[in-house]
Every structure is written in C-alpha cells, then in structure tokens.
Amino acid sequence: MASKPNTRSTKSTTETPETKPSAKGPSVNRTILVGRLVATPELRTTASGIHVTTVRIATNDGEQPEFHDVVLWRQHADFATTYMAKGRLVYIEGRQQSRSWEAADGSKRRTVEVVADRFQALSPRQAAETASA
C-alpha cells in the first residue's frame, strides 16, 4: 500500500503590516487579595449621594509586607464601615485602576488601586481584635 504524499498547506510565518497581531486583543484585569485591614474604614459620600470608602490591605508573603489601596462602593462600603475593623482578615476581588491628579503644590501624582466588586470577611470580629492588639 502506497503512502499518501503530504498535501497539507503550511502557513507562512512572515508578518506583513496587514497580518500583525493587534495590540488591542483580549486582556484580563483581575486582582485577588487576601490580607488584613491596616485601619478601620471610614465612610464617605460623593456629591451624588453614593457611599464609598478606601481601605488599605496588608498582604505578606513571608518576607516584606505589601500594602494595597482598595476602593469599595455602595453596599461594599456600607458593609466595610459597619462591620470591619483594623486587623480583620478579608478577601477582595476586583480590577486594578490607575488615577492621576495634580496636587495642591502643583506636583503630579499617580496611584494604582483595586476597585473591588467582591468583598468578604474571612475572620470573626474577635480574631481581628486579638490580631490588632
């Protein structure tokens, strides 16, 4: 029995300007953090009446702690300011966002923060009290 010749076509690997991959392809902006609150959250209200708070989370991989600013909106902000305290272990899921602004002294400032769409307490209130003491 004779074997069939390879008739499979191969695509050229040469890229022309029309065939270059697009830099605007799909991407993922997802952040998951498990850490402890550095301070007790304080509720703020926007001019349009929406509740918001920014919390700082400390994570530690065993060497140097990392600090992350997390923005909580609406019900998440209400929950955090009502039930959360310094030292409480939390789970946060959201997306990273960067902001730039000009400070009062004229210098340009920039920050990167996580805008949370999921926020959950992982430790009971009593555990937070002993962890922060």
Hey, is 61 helix, strand or coil?
coil
Distance, in Å, from the CA atom of 131 to the CA atom of 107, rounded to the nearest integer, reads: 38
Which DSSP state fits 82?
Answer: H
State the CB neighbour count (10 A cutoff) for residue 8. Answer: 5
**Domain containing 114: what range?**
31-100+109-126
Pairing outcome for strands 65-73 and 108-121: parallel
Q: In this predicted structure, what is the pLDDT of residue 6?
A: 54
- Taking only the tens place, the pLDDT of each residue in 71-94 is 999 999 999 999 999 999 999 999
pTM of the model: 0.72
Q: In this predicted structure, what is the pLDDT of residue 58?
A: 96
- How many distinct structural domains can be found in the chain? 1
Hey, is 122 helix, strand or coil?
coil
CB 92 within 8 A of CB 54: no
In a domain, 17, yes or no: no
In a domain, 12, yes or no: no
For residue 74, the domain's CATH number is: 2.40.50.140
Hey, is 90 helix, strand or coil?
strand
Show the low-confidence residues of the chain (pLDDT under 70). Answer: 1-23, 126-133
